[in-house]
Structure 1
Amino acid sequence: MKRIILLYIYLFPALLCAQYRVTGIVSDSIGTPLEKVSIVLLPQGLQQSSAKDGSFAFLLGSNTRIQFSMVGYERKVIELDKGRNQHINVVLSASQQKLDEVLVNTGYYKVDKSRVTGSFNAIDNKQLQFNPNGNIIERLEGITPSLQFDRKFNVNENVGEPALRLRGLSSIQSSTEPLIILDNFPYKGSINTINPDDIESITILKDAAAASIWGARAGNGVIVLTTKKGRAGDAIKVSFGTQLVLSDRPDLFYNLNFLDSKSMMEIEKTLFDRSYYKKANQTMLPDYVSLLFKLKENKIDQTEFDQIKNRMEMQDIRQEAREELYRQAVTQRYNLMLSGGSTKNRFVLSGSFNKDLLNVIGNKAQRYTLRGANELKLTSQLTLNTEVQVARLDNVNNGYNLTNLNGTRTLSPYTFLRNVDGTAASTNYKYLREYVEQAESTGLLNWDFKPLEDRELLNKSNQSKNLLLAAGLNYRLLDGLSLDFKYQYQNISNSSQNWYDKDSYYVRNLVNQYTQTDMTRIIPYSGILEGGTNRNIVNHNFRLQGNYQKKFATNYELSALAGAEISANLTKDLPGFRLFDYNRDILTNQIAFDYTNLYKLRPNGSARVPVPPNNMQDITERFLSYFANASLTIQDRHSFSGSVRWDASNIFGVKTNQKGVPLWSLGAKEKLIAFDFLKNNWLSQLDVRATYGVNGNINAALSALPSAFFNNYDLMTGLPYSQLRSAGNPNLRWEKIKILNLGLDFGFLKQRLTGSVEYFHKKGTDLIGQKLYDPTTGISPVDGTYYIDNSVNYANMITKGLDFNLRALLLQGDFKWSVNTLLSYTSNKVTDYMAASRVSTSSYVTSPVPTVGKSLDQLYAWKFGGLSAENGMILTPSGDQDYLQYMNNAKIEDLEYVGLRFPPWQGSLMQSFNYKGFELNANIEFKMGFYLRRASIDYSKLFANGIGNRDYERRWQKIGDEQFTTVPAMPTNVDNRRDALYANSMVLIEKGDFVRLSNIQMAYTFKWRNVKSVQTRVFGAINNLGMLYRANKSGLDPDFYQANYPKPRTYTIGFQLDF
């Protein structure tokens, strides 16, 4: 017996070692459990795979290491604490050498990108951190192809949110904005209420196969935001981040529409000598003109006149405004997130606070967000998901800037904001200065407007609140077959409130205006509280969906889903209010006013007491949808997909809902690298893709039923009235966008060089357009404008383009250097549209008119006929100065077709450098192939409103100047047509091409030696660094050429702590 025991000890020494149990869960970077991960015990090589929920378990003896690997993920080896039972959570990172192996989220399902046939862009959290400023959508600029930011509406002080285009335009009159999805459903609130730190990844769906699952709302593309989730089986993790953002003062010297004080005063003196100005009806006159009148009327002597004049000539309102009205903006951001889970649940709880002191003194904003999400396994087959999001956005806009300081006339460059003694100055605002100065002596209130004091006597605020509740149940019926029920409720409320102190200009102006001849005050001299129209939006979404995913015989993988969805969107606008004689302390007010009586106004005219905002509307939009989607992958080489969706809505006509024409898509993908003749050492990936299908687009502003606008009273009669807005359209239906997409994905040198090339062709049919009717119906244009809507589905257009993406890993190892190049091209052409028969030729110059055979971004200009050698006036192309005859008789063929006003080419070049914990990222953006119309001197606006332009200094002044300048001479009379001919002529067209250094970011991530679970990241970033190249010679930023100043440069420093 003793010999037998010794033999066992010799042959099986492992039996003498104490065994211990190791369990765990393996998941990806966003916490999704990974099934069939290869788990190998080292060094013996024993192997098993993770279960469907990512779990695994071992009974170990001498093993101290476990290796985890899966296609598309980096291999990971875990060192074990030998000799004790333990539970470990393993997170696998997506492989950098298998770039396309990422999950794509469509809002209905998630799928590995290597198997999708459609056109997607997947942006992970690391890419979103490249630009830490702006809302979550603005952070996509420059890092994704074909997403275009249109800033043509950024005028004056507006340098904020741009309009979006995804792969160009798909509609003529309807919205061009892509659909925004938050996790599972469309997001109806402001994008600014979403905390960017809550977003884990973004998927952009660009073609029919990708977006058709969203049916009649996907014609402009879809952007899916995926929020962060906890990781199953993970210990509680805490993440805290803070950022400080500083923004430069705006560049007030950028605006071309400005003249220095001396030049403006010379112009005003010339007009004064021509008797252009009249002191009639107390109409406001420029301060220098008032000074000239005082000298002429002997109210001041020459010495006093010269002193004031010299001070005016030395003044530049921009310099004083820079110090008194504007400041360096400061933003503070704080974000706290807790996440974790067990074998049965995973959760995340986050909160954020933003505080903004904006560039204009007196303007500020705050944002609060709170979010909680939990996934709980009720049974082995039933999972419950719940989520709550709360957001509040507060804005205060008490400040004055160089735009809202403009009163009856544009602010003069010699305007003072402070007096010599430092007190707040009274600026010329609405009425004749002399009339204002005499107000108190006639028994009226002080009528001075002092902006530096006035901003302290008011509080103008608006508030946006957002509540989102979501719940979902997933029931696993069989292996691979599950049933989903999801519900989401969203409530959005927007309100505004303005309070004015009794000494504010707003109150004093109203009191004085309505003071009668006998000095009776109709408006009480007390505070006023106003409330704007309150909007409340309630959105309900229900979805029932079946999912099936199964592998057959190791070579076939089938994924399919089908379901139904019901949604309702309720929008209600409630009227505002205006409370006179308002006391903030005891909350009293007076509302007993006769709103029907006409009162005499000072200085002239008559009017009723201002009524509160009384706009009301109640809109209900309901949608019913049925959908199905399926994909089949064979031998991991051949992939096929198809989808179909049927939509109905109460905004469509009855006939349309009865027909229910479905929207659909088909797609295929082939991995050519599997063919033997393509297998080699340098080619690692070669995939071809093709999809075709039909998406839809909805114009929510239209209705199948007649609609009218109702008002309480007519200004002339005082009686209620209504106005027909639309005759109704029982055939109203969604717009259809037929999309063809061809794609090639490639990789070389073991994925050191990867990229893709895509061609797309979109044909919009049944687009909404204005159609000519028999004039006897009453639906006809008046001077090209329709006052009764006549929009029907009939128009067509084509949009096509290319997307190119190239990523190169130039160096790897401790020092990594990667370059990512994006390039996209889009063009569009109208193929069927019926323009109003009386659209003037001038309309083609001032704004795009849909024209068959032309782009919606077309830019026309009047041909430039040069300047007269005799008087310096602009000549028509006919060589004369008969502007009325030329412009009235001109045809579209007489115009100069310039090109496009929106860039067809755009792209970026991003470089990333990494060395151990250090990161350096720089992004260069460019836009090419478009034109802009810069502003120049417009003498009609100069004389009437004081709007100047630097070109005035280059004007024609003597015979022979026409050889050196294109700026007309200052005329002796006003002729709007002459000024319009010049303002819209070819001579003011410039190329818009530019290259911009968009942002630079530097970061360092370090881990604590003694505490492995703690990680700290510090970073700094600079945005809007400036132009590297611009084609225009005027120094304009083509993105903001109509704004008073470009977007200021920002500086960010941040700190992130994870433990």
Structure 2
Amino acid sequence: MKQMLLLGLLIASIWPAIKAQQTVTGKVTDIEGKSLPGVSIMIKNTTVGSTSDNAGNFRINVTSNSDTLVFSLVGFAIKEVAVNGQSRFDVTLVENASKLNEVVVVGYGTVKKSDLTGSVVSISSEQLKAVPVTTFDQALQGRAAGVQVVQATGAPGGGTNIRIRGTTSVNASSEPLYVIDGLLINSNTSEMSIGGRGPAVSPLATINPSDIESIEILKDASATAIYGSRAANGVVLITTRKGKAGKASLNLESYYGVQEATKKLNLLNAAQYAELVNEAEQNAGRTPVYPNPQSLGKGTDWQEALFQQAPIANVQLSVTGGNEKTRYAVGGGYFSQKGIVVGSDLNRYSFRTNLETEVSKKLTVGTNISYNRMQTNGVLTGPAPVVQGVVYNALLFNPILPVYDSSRAGGYTFAHDRRDAVANPIAEAREYEAVTTTSRLLGTVFAQYEIIEGLSLRSSFGIDALSTKSNTFGPNFLKRTENSMGEASIATLEALTWLNTNTLTYNKQINANNSINALAGLEFQKFRNETTSMYAFGFPESTTGWHNISAGENPQPLSNGETEWSIASYFGRLNYSLMNKYLFTLTGRVDGSSKFAEGNKYGFFPSGAFAWRMSEEPFMKNVSFISDLKLRASYGRTGNQSIPPYQSLALISGSGIEGVFSNGNIITAVRGRQPIQYPNKLLKWETTDQANVGIDMAVFRGRLSLTAEVYHKNTKDLLLSTPLPYTTGFGSSLTNVGNITNKGVDLSLSSVNFDGVLNWTTSVNFSVNRNKVTELVSDEDVHLIAGNVLRVGQPVGSFYGYVFDGIFQNADDIAKSPILTGTNPAPGDLKYKDISGPGGAPDGIVNEFDRTIIGSAQPDFTWGLNNTLSFKNLTLSFFFQGSQGNELINQNLADLANLNGKQNVLADVALNRWTPQHPGNKYPRAYTDANDNVFSSRFIEDASYLRLKNVTLGYNLPSSALKRMGLSNVRLYVSGTNLWTVTGYSGFDPEGNAYGGTTDIVGVDYGGYPLAKTYTVGLNIGF
């Protein structure tokens, strides 16, 4: 009885809700009456929804006659239908061509996506913000087919190496051209940053990634030729946030995170190291150094002492709004990043304002201005043989020694006790100061006037002003200042680029079947920088540091320099559309650069492209599963002038030389100058010819989209440093010799897997590039440092050395094996292959004739995979990125696998070293006088990797809660970056490159700054 009473009360309580519910049914079709399965049907402003079945039928329960149903499907326009007491609806959805009507930014203008004839990849601000980064170029990694991005260093402010469709140059730059809101910015590290004693910081680090709305990457000649002499390596167009007409909007974007090293190398502890030292000494016939190794325990973990958990934080506040005539966007931000290596950090303050106003119906004026101020505190991290990097030293330092020694000046253990060149890494990182402060102003003002309908004139003037000051100080108790007795330096750089661009654009729809868009332009650009530097040695005390450089007892000569160059350009482009399905583009640009010789200063860079929108043909109308189909082909020429100025001129040394002349009894001292550069009166551009064929396809109403392209690039007249006969008095001269080809395939695929209550989208890109040097000065190899070589028939980034052939096991093995010239091996020593002699065939001796190509830094393919899932207010995205087939010189092994007992080594090497009792064929014996640094294939490792680049889980506050709080949006998210890497490479990171952005020296890991793993929590609020 009691149960019946409770049931009755329950029914009574829920009856009003049951009674209020109403079932609505219906069917969804397209305009041709075909059923549409998978349509999402949602009750507006709720999370209640349903999906149409395979026949297009649907059923949903509504709770009020005032409810509104929202119908959505990929490829169709969203449709809203009010219930109004009805119980059945037959709904027709109209195909939405908005994707094809999206506007894409191209050089000096925009174009509808459907009208593109060139190869252009767009990256949205949402994709850029998915990964917390210091510089925007880091966020491009894995996002676009044909764009290889390698983060060569994990240091705060450290840059990336970007290659768009391969390496096209050797001594000139292979980095793309960057254009921000029409301003061609200078990203040349040699011209826009101070070298010398401070850490290298990318000029792109001064640009705030939070300011960016979208990025377009121009890849083929049809898209890039409008930029002529600077477009051989592709173009990156950056559009910053703009205001929109409507109510003012205030947005706060913020995140905070913690970074840590992705990996530590497994080295010997103190007891193990002592045993190795003893064995190495004994094998050389000497007395053991450590009488009781086991008593030493684990000792000092120098990696643990050097690496730290480091915070990273970002705050960005922006206001956008406007009315029909004036639109504005104003924002400011602060970014802070501690490095995972102690003593390194970066702080950046940024401000931007974009303003546009219609003065009249014909005249529009505007401005884009940004100011960024950045300060880096850096530690020196390599390349190891050039700079005593603290990471490199931490790997080698004696684990028996402690970090601190109170008996010494400064309170630190001074240096490695068995290898004199290795400094205490903690002392160097904490006490050697290297502070670089950079301010950068990027500003453009423009006016656009409509002369007649369809014809407009736009004129703009922009500046890129950069000011950098680098201060360093090393107290006299450090190892690196041992000879100088303390050192200080102050260096400054002032750089200014101004750009004036004038374009005339005519856009005319002639009739229903014909339309044209024509562009003509005139552009002038000039760059100038000035550098000054002062050094002083001999600081008996460290109180004032660089703040009083005159306290140095041994001042060095002051130095300064000036550089300038200019370019004058004329360009034009014609786009013609016939019947909205036959698209033609012709482009041409003439550039005149002061960098080249008289008679060769001007170059012409043309291109042509054709696209056929096959899906618009009548015979395709019955192919219902194809939504869009376009075939493209282009061919054109671009150039490269990224070399220092004055290379064609005869230069005289800036500092005097002294000479003493005797004439009888009179001795005269004179001071003069000497020539330092051979003039090349024929110096001209590198030129790159590129052919591109592509297909763009969308099927199943846009649920699946594919872009596939095949390209071939040929770069000729390479700007290459060429040896000269010594009789000229010079060693080399920059000349136009050599060819490089790049050919490959770019694939991009995106899909909408589910669309409804659960949304799931996937995008994947895949790139194959084959690089080859096809011509050099002669048939002889060009040997570069760090094992790199240029050889005809091989790619740039080829490695050259001996082939490692195992370990000599016994005396018989030595007797019957070829021996490396100049060595007297014993069992347990390294063995190398005899490949060929002077006549070509093996000759029983291992010498310089047996060196060969032993690897390449060029990957077989690169790829990126991104998935985004959303359910109600939750969003989950995970992004994988990888490279396959590339190899890396692990130059660290020259020491970390050298069992001479003079530095620490990898535990795997030492614990599995060759001994008579435990012979092996991989690692040699311990021997104090070992010569294990012969460059060979034992230093080459497979650097292929698969990386979980980012995972982000976000929650958007429901609209009902937002209304109560008076907010437009609130998003809370957690994110992880570089969480997981699968690789066979034994070093810190398979992307490492000790020589930064150089084009010719690539694929070398030598004491670099490791990449960080990052965990962040973010909050975005819109008012």
- TM-score interval, normalised by the smaller of the two chains: 0.7 to 0.9
Change (3 A) 1:869 1:581: closer
- Which of residues 864, 877, 887 in structure 2 aligns to 1:908? 864
Q: Deviations over 1:939-993 (max 9, x none)?
A: 99654952533423222211782xx422222346344xxx244x513x5544333
C-alpha displacement of 1:748: 0.8
Output the amino acid matched with 2:556: V
Which residue number in structure 2 is paired with residue 856 of structure 1?
796
Tell me the distance in 1 between the aligned counterparts of 2:272 and 2:430.
34
Output the amino acid matched with 2:642: N
RCO higher in 1 or 2 (8 Å CA, sep ≥ 6)? Answer: 2
Tell me the distance in 2 between the aligned counterparts of 1:994 and 1:534.
40
Q: Does 1:226 align with 2:244?
A: no
For the 8 Å contact 2:448–2:456, the answer to whether it is kept is yes
Q: How does 1:679-758 map to 2 (within 5 A)?
A: 679=621, 680-701=623-644, 703-711=647-655, 724-758=675-709
The more displaced of 697-706 and 869-878 is 869-878
C-alpha displacement of 1:546: 0.5
C-alpha displacement of 1:325: 3.5
Greater share of strand: 2
Tell me the distance in 1 between the aligned counterparts of 2:276 and 2:479.
35
Which residue number in structure 1 is paired with residue 374 of structure 2?
393
Tell me the distance in 2 between the aligned counterparts of 1:432 and 1:100.
68
Tell me the distance in 1 between the aligned counterparts of 2:239 and 2:814.
58
Q: Does 1:992 align with 2:913?
A: no
Q: Provide the secondary structure at the position in 2 that maps to 1:1000.
A: strand
C-alpha displacement of 1:273: 5.7
Q: Does 1:1058 align with 2:1010?
A: no
Which residue number in structure 1 is paired with residue 213 of structure 2?
200
Aligned-residue RMSD, C-alpha: 4.2
For the 8 Å contact 1:819–1:911, the answer to whether it is kept is yes
Tell me the distance in 2 between the aligned counterparts of 1:875 and 1:930.
37
Q: Does 1:174 align with 2:172?
A: yes
Change (3 A) 1:154 1:369: closer
Q: How does 1:490-889 map to 2 (within 5 A)?
A: 490-499=464-473, 505=477, 530-578=488-536, 591=550, 609=554, 611=556, 614-657=558-601, 660-679=602-621, 680-701=623-644, 703-711=647-655, 724-771=675-722, 773-779=724-730, 788-835=731-778, 843=783, 846-870=786-810, 878=818
Which residue number in structure 2 is paired with residue 1048 of structure 1?
1012
Which residue number in structure 2 is paired with residue 119 of structure 1?
119
For the 8 Å contact 1:316–1:415, the answer to whether it is kept is yes
For the 8 Å contact 1:240–1:336, the answer to whether it is kept is yes
Change (3 A) 1:881 1:399: closer
Which residue number in structure 2 is paired with residue 969 of structure 1?
925
Tell me the distance in 2 between the aligned counterparts of 1:590 and 1:142.
46
Which residue number in structure 1 is paired with residue 296 of structure 2?
312
Which residue number in structure 1 is paired with residue 413 of structure 2?
427
C-alpha displacement of 1:825: 0.4
Q: Provide the secondary structure at the position in 2 that maps to 1:1038.
A: coil
Tell me the distance in 2 between the aligned counterparts of 1:263 and 1:1053.
42
Q: Does 1:485 align with 2:485?
A: no
For the 8 Å contact 1:392–1:466, the answer to whether it is kept is yes
Tell me the distance in 2 between the aligned counterparts of 1:248 and 1:544.
49
Structure 2 gaps, min length 5: 1-67, 83-93, 188-202, 383-387, 662-668, 825-831, 839-845, 993-1004
C-alpha displacement of 1:690: 0.4
Which residue number in structure 2 is paired with residue 361 of structure 1?
342
Q: Provide the secondary structure at the position in 2 that maps to 1:711.
A: coil
C-alpha displacement of 1:867: 2.6
Tell me the distance in 2 between the aligned counterparts of 1:831 and 1:141.
29
For the 8 Å contact 1:394–1:463, the answer to whether it is kept is yes
Could you tell me the percent identity over the aligned residues? 23
Output the amino acid matched with 2:956: T
Output the amino acid matched with 1:1056: N
The more displaced of 941-950 and 474-483 is 941-950
Q: Deviations over 1:42-89 (max 9, x none)?
A: xxxxxxxxxxxxxxxxxxxxxxx9x9x9x999568899xxxxxxxxxx
For the 8 Å contact 1:97–1:752, the answer to whether it is kept is no
Which residue number in structure 1 is paired with residue 204 of structure 2?
191
- What's the TM-score once normalised by structure 2's chain length? 0.78
For the 8 Å contact 1:500–1:507, the answer to whether it is kept is no
Change (3 A) 1:938 1:193: closer
Tell me the distance in 1 between the aligned counterparts of 2:531 and 2:677.
20
Q: Provide the secondary structure at the position in 2 that maps to 1:359.
A: coil
The more displaced of 691-700 and 1003-1012 is 1003-1012
For the 8 Å contact 1:867–1:873, the answer to whether it is kept is no
Which residue number in structure 2 is paired with residue 519 of structure 1?
none
Output the amino acid matched with 1:259: L
Tell me the distance in 2 between the aligned counterparts of 1:500 and 1:864.
42
The more displaced of 546-555 and 694-703 is 694-703
Q: Deviations over 1:666-705 (max 9, x none)?
A: 0010011122332322111111000100001113225221
Which residue number in structure 1 is paired with residue 327 of structure 2?
346
For the 8 Å contact 2:879–2:950, the answer to whether it is kept is yes
C-alpha displacement of 1:259: 3.3
Tell me the distance in 2 between the aligned counterparts of 1:351 and 1:267.
56
Output the amino acid matched with 1:1005: N
C-alpha displacement of 1:95: 9.8
Q: Does 1:245 align with 2:257?
A: yes
For the 8 Å contact 1:581–1:590, the answer to whether it is kept is no
Q: Provide the secondary structure at the position in 2 that maps to 1:505.
A: coil
Tell me the distance in 2 between the aligned counterparts of 1:497 and 1:996.
37
C-alpha displacement of 1:134: 3.5
The more displaced of 1009-1018 and 904-913 is 1009-1018
Q: Provide the secondary structure at the position in 1 that maps to 2:807.
A: coil
Change (3 A) 1:980 1:844: farther
For the 8 Å contact 1:261–1:413, the answer to whether it is kept is yes
Which residue number in structure 2 is paired with residue 416 of structure 1?
402
For the 8 Å contact 2:396–2:905, the answer to whether it is kept is no
For the 8 Å contact 2:398–2:416, the answer to whether it is kept is no
Tell me the distance in 2 between the aligned counterparts of 1:712 and 1:429.
38
C-alpha displacement of 1:648: 0.5
Tell me the distance in 2 between the aligned counterparts of 1:359 and 1:531.
26
C-alpha displacement of 1:649: 1.2
For the 8 Å contact 1:865–1:875, the answer to whether it is kept is no
Tell me the distance in 1 between the aligned counterparts of 2:980 and 2:395.
33
C-alpha displacement of 1:1031: 4.7
Change (3 A) 1:861 1:880: closer
Q: Deviations over 1:837-867 (max 9, x none)?
A: 586xxx5895332211221133344233443
C-alpha displacement of 1:452: 6.6
Q: Does 1:923 align with 2:895?
A: no
Q: Deviations over 1:129-183 (max 9, x none)?
A: 22233321111111111111235x549x799432111111111221111111111
Tell me the distance in 1 between the aligned counterparts of 2:547 and 2:966.
62
Q: Provide the secondary structure at the position in 2 that maps to 1:1039.
A: coil
- Which of residues 1018, 1022, 1028 in structure 1 aligns to 2:972? 1018
The more displaced of 177-186 and 677-686 is 677-686
Change (3 A) 1:715 1:699: farther
Q: Provide the secondary structure at the position in 2 that maps to 1:327.
A: coil
Q: Provide the secondary structure at the position in 2 that maps to 1:211.
A: helix
C-alpha displacement of 1:537: 0.6
For the 8 Å contact 2:104–2:110, the answer to whether it is kept is yes
Which residue number in structure 2 is paired with residue 260 of structure 1?
269
Q: How does 1:52-71 map to 2 (within 5 A)?
A: none
Change (3 A) 1:378 1:872: farther
Q: Deviations over 1:214-246 (max 9, x none)?
A: 110000000011000001x31211111111021
Output the amino acid matched with 1:768: L
Aligned residues: 878
Structure 1 gaps, min length 5: 1-64, 80-93, 279-287, 293-304, 436-447, 515-522, 595-608, 780-787
C-alpha displacement of 1:425: 5.8
